[in-house]
Structure 1
């Protein structure tokens, strides 16, 4: 079955699980959902605000969006996290999204909001908090899942300041150690959340999530629940 849907409740988070049988299938389904969310938001409110994730699976999705037909002039693009590296560093999430997708579509430059992580974690987080402060509720937040259960730069064993919209991250278990992340509260203030989870290496994190273990991904809890698109893991 190409798309197998299961719904479970973890703590206060409602999660709906969609299993796909190929990388192409999950990529295409994600693109279709993103474009549909954009059309719905633009029809209802005249704009579409999307928060991007980094990583390999989102990169494939962004590559497909590059050739999609959309009312790009109404899109407003944000990021869920980024690494404190120079703007042209290959590991910057913002650079990846621009090179694969954003530089090739007609989204106005002032509607693409990169995290200024090159300023360092403290100053960059302050600046990005000011950027997102004027946004009421996001329309769609894209997230990934690390093998340790982290999402964005919300790592297990770390204390997150949920009073902030964006906060500095130090001593991240994955290099670079300094990052900037939107908070769990801010990521949950959205009309829709889509997790993209691929690869057998994520199996333990998925099992923990579905068994009620409090991994970081479970703190993303919008009122509408979250949709988890998976490929390469078993939904036990």
Structure 2
């Protein structure tokens, strides 16, 4: 597998990375607004993007023409400390970015599977994303597509926009955008930190073929992909 089309940018800290990365994302969003009148940004939750969200929230651009949504969500109440929805609302949807539109993945359904049906129809109606930012776990998962979940094949091969997943080794049922919906984007970015995740990335890179979910995204040749990594 030829990975020369994948650009890997390395930084000494997540803080430094976030400064550069926020400006890159803003450039892509401005281009989208200029060319199509509106921009669509997909972000991921967890601890890694916290400084990125803070910096991105202060970027000067026409946020009223930007729609933001998450790549996945744990099926918890929105006020839970484990909620990605809460994370985005607290750290990103403020300052200048407070003017952005936001599509929440939390529907209020009791079960993630019921929510996924509604969300899939809603997100299928959206146009091509302009920027998708994905994270990566030590186990090679991305979004909520885990190597040990029974729904992995559906998430990587199915045509639905959103599915429910139930990872065996991670808490909570989840909803996740699928590979097909995430790759319906003009730009794909991976953002991760730490030696363990870098090791997984290098293994996928060297193997070429892998069963890890992250590999399905890194091996694709359709969407321009850049990796932002900090030690």
Global fold match (TM > 0.5): yes
Aligned pair count reads 220
CA–CA distance in structure 2, aligned partners of residues 16 and 117 of structure 1: 36
Partners of 2:13 and 2:187 in 1: CA distance: 24
2:164 to 145, 168, 176: 168
Q: What TM-score do the two structures reach when normalised by structure 2?
A: 0.88
User: Distance in 2 between the 1:153 and 1:144 partners?
Assistant: 10
Runs of 4+ in 1 over 4 A off after TM superposition: none
The answer on 1:216 being equivalent to 2:209 is: no
Structure 2 residue 33 is the aligned partner of structure 1 residue 38? no
What's the offset of the Cα at 1:136? 2.3
Quick check: 1:154–1:160 contact (8 Å CA) kept in 2? Answer: no
The one-character-per-residue Cα deviations of 1:187-232 (angstroms, maximum 9, x if unpaired) are 1110001100111221331122211242211212362331011111
TM-score (norm 1): 0.87
Q: How does 1:1-236 map to 2 (within 5 A)?
A: 9=2, 14-104=5-95, 105-108=97-100, 111-116=101-106, 118-119=108-109, 120-158=111-149, 159-161=152-154, 162-176=158-172, 178-211=173-206, 212-214=208-210, 215-220=212-217, 221=220, 223-232=222-231
Matches of 1:187 and 1:99, distance apart in 2? 24
Ranges in structure 2 where 5+ consecutive residues have no aligned partner = none
Q: What is the root-mean-square deviation of aligned Cα atoms in Å?
A: 1.9
